[in-house]
Amino acid sequence: MLLEGYDLWTKFVFYYPLLMSIVWIIGSIIYYFKWEYKISDEIPEDIDWPLISILVPCYNEEDTVEETVEHLNKLSYPNKEIICVNDGSKDNTGPIIQRLSEEYDIVRAIDSKENKGKANALRLALFASHGEYLVCLDSDAILDDDAPYQLIKHFYLNGDKVGAVTGNPRIRNRSTLLGKIQVIEYASIIGAIKRTQRILGKVMTVSGVIVAFRKDALIEVGLWDTDMITEDIGVTWKLHEYHWDVRYEPYALCWMLVPEKLTSYWNQRVRWAQGGQEVIMKFYRLLLNFKYRRLWPIYIEQILSIFWAISFVILFLIQLLFGVDEIRDILIWFSFSGMLLFLISTIQLMISLLIDSKYDKIGPMYLFIGWYPFIYWIVNTLIAIRALPKSIYARYKGGYATWSSPDRGDRVD
């Protein structure tokens, strides 16, 4: 019985990444044929475009915020205000956004002297906003001119229960290998996951870099939680808890900068993993209530991913202790698993590139990076293990969840 359980455990570790890649492939294809290929980037002409408040939280962003605000000011969207919040920055972010508010009539600046986290900065901006709809944007991002229209149209065309619409982040800096790899990640993994989650009924998280909210929905759920390390994941689940709909709009393009140093990449992903784990701990009660059954697949997948990471490490260490023959078996297992995952990942990548080709000219060279999803699973195993104690500690510590921006790399215009 014990051996059968151990064998089942090893099979789970072996097959789970393959299964999830196949699920993401199928989900992306279904999403594409159900919704994506039918829609176009044409902007509806029969909408009286409402006032939107564009919220830009900033912490130590003196190198990027001016470019972001200048691009926002040039957007063709006819009815907008821009609210920049300096969240206790230690550089010249505060004076820069103050100068921008004096230079542009539609820009307002809020200067918070103490760093209390992105969620608190967004709260301050919301309290100062006049728009019925809020567009939240990171202070290193460049928004496509059509993006506000593509986001706001959902609130008019898809009913009063649409609480949030998440956009489509794309990578600006592609000069380094790590930057190129993240282009692949956003196209073949993150985009595929969002499409699949939408098919399953619930998007797990909006993209914090670009998302639009209905202000009434945010107020009903109690706004962003200031004690969550990833405010975007937390507020998404609160919206689901109150039965607000969360949509994904691939035509709402946002060009962002990603880390190009391994330490910054690692710290960013640990923070993301910690945020996902905090959500699991906080919203466990939803798994016990039948009215939240559409959230169950997403919740269970998150639990299984953490369980897989822990299982992978434990099994690897156990088998490593048995001797040379078992090490040989491990290497054979890695080779066979790697070949299968490489094959499935290459198929996933090709399908994702075909789908994403109308949003971003990624280029054929990236077809040769089909090995990345295999590395993705290994790296995210280590990230999940590192994030677990941090998330447990954070859930019981309380207080403000503060933030720091990773390195931004080199901008490509």
CATH number for position 179: 3.90.550.10
φ, ψ of residue 31 to 5 degrees: the values are -60, -45
Domain-terminating residue out of 217, 247, 274: 274
> Does 234 lie in the same domain as 154?
yes
What is d(CA 187, CA 378) in angstroms, rounded to the nearest whole number? 19
| pLDDT of amino acid 398 | 54
Spell out the residues 6+ positions from residue 335 whose beta carbon is closer than 8 angstroms to its own: none
> Does 365 lie in the same domain as 269?
no
> Does 269 lie in the same domain as 330?
no
Q: Which of 248, 48, 256 is nearest to 150 (CA)?
A: 248
* Contact by Cβ (8 Å): 32, 378: no
Residue 43 in domain: no
Residue 10 in domain: yes
> Which domain range does residue 246 map to?
48-274
What is d(CA 124, CA 121) in angstroms, rounded to the nearest whole number? 5
| pLDDT of amino acid 397 | 57
pLDDT averaged per 10 residues in sequence order, the chain, 413 residues: 62 78 84 76 77 89 85 89 87 86 87 82 89 89 89 83 88 76 74 79 79 92 80 84 85 84 77 75 78 78 80 72 53 58 75 75 58 65 70 58 54 46
Q: Which of 118, 362, 381, 379 is nearest to 235 (CA)?
A: 118
φ, ψ of residue 265 to 5 degrees: the values are -60, -45
Residue 407 in domain: no
> Does 109 lie in the same domain as 145?
yes
Q: Where are the beta strands (DSSP E) in 23-161?
A: 52-58, 80-87, 107-112, 133-137, 142-143
- Provide the domain count of the chain: 2
3-state secondary structure of 382: helix
What is d(CA 273, CA 384) in angstroms, rounded to the nearest whole number? 6
Tokens of 327: 């090490």
| pLDDT of amino acid 53 | 92
Sign of CA dihedral 265, 331, 10, 352: positive
Residue 306 in domain: yes
Tokens of 123: 């709260």
What is d(CA 409, CA 263) in angstroms, rounded to the nearest whole number? 13
| pLDDT of amino acid 90 | 85
| pLDDT of amino acid 1 | 54
Residue 411 in domain: no
Look up the pTM and report it.
Answer: 0.80
Residue 195 in domain: yes
Residue 37 in domain: no
| pLDDT of amino acid 324 | 47
Residue 358 in domain: yes
